[in-house]
Amino acid sequence: MTGYTVRPVADDLDTGGFFAAAQDGQVAVQHCGECGQVLHMPRAYCRHCGAFSPRWRAVAPTGTVFSYTVVTHQVHPAFEVPYTVLLVELDEPAGVRLIGHVPGRPAVHIGQPVRASFPALPDGSLLPNWELLDDDAVAS
Ligand SMILES: [Zn+2]
């Protein structure tokens, strides 16, 4: 334990819905309120139809490791090294990738299944992250 905590900016207009959903234990992705297209990265308007009506929708909290890297050079006291940064591709909707990290150097590989986890920060707020699953794990 480092004694340091890094908190996301949870009330940002573009990403606040993601962190609000996390407080309910959900992974949410922004969609257009008019045409329904996925808006990832989140934005105020839809590049498909031009509407300014983004909405957050809960999605399955599962995915696979799209890429990863092990960080060994400490850049912030809140993140003890080594740790492994995960780029996770959600099972749905297609093409949405989110970042997370796990401590240490776990056995990890591209395509490994993951499930969202929501560890609590010292103030009780929940921060979305990922837990690695065995290849034969059945997501439920
Ligand atoms: Zn649209």
Q: Tell me the two tokens of residue 14.
A: 């573009």
Judge whether 119 and 109 are in contact, CB under 8 Å. Answer: no
Distance from Cα 93 to the centre of ligand 1, integer Å: 15
Going by the DSSP 8-state scheme, the letter that residue 119 receives in this structure is P
Task: Give the Cα separation of 34 and 61 in Å (integer).
Answer: 24
In a domain, 58, yes or no: yes
Q: Provide the number of structural domains found in the chain.
A: 1
CA of 41 to the centre of ligand 1 (A): 14
- The answer to whether position 53 is within a domain reads yes
Whether residue 110 lies inside any domain: the answer is yes
Nearest-5° Cα angle at 9, 46 to 28: 50
Structural domain includes residue 137: no
Distance 43 CA to ligand 1 centre (A): 11
Is 59 among the domain residues? yes
Q: Locate tokens 């740790």: which residue? A: 83
Residue 47 lies in a domain: yes
The one-digit pLDDT tens for each residue of the chain (140 residues) are 456 788 888 889 899 999 999 999 999 999 999 999 999 999 999 999 999 999 999 999 999 999 999 999 998 888 899 999 999 999 999 999 999 999 999 999 999 999 999 999 888 899 899 999 999 875 44
Can you give the C-alpha Rg of the chain in angstroms? 16
| 30 Cα: distance to centroid of ligand 1 (angstroms) | 11
55 CA distance to ligand 1 middle (Å): 10
Give the amino acid at 66.
F
Q: Which domain holds residue 70?
A: 16-132
- pTM of the model as a whole: 0.90
Instruction: Answer yes or no: is 27 within a domain.
Output: yes
Amino acid symbol at 22: A
Q: Is residue 9 part of a domain?
A: no
What beta strand segments (E) does the chain contain?
27-32, 54-59, 62-71, 83-90, 97-103, 113-117, 129-132
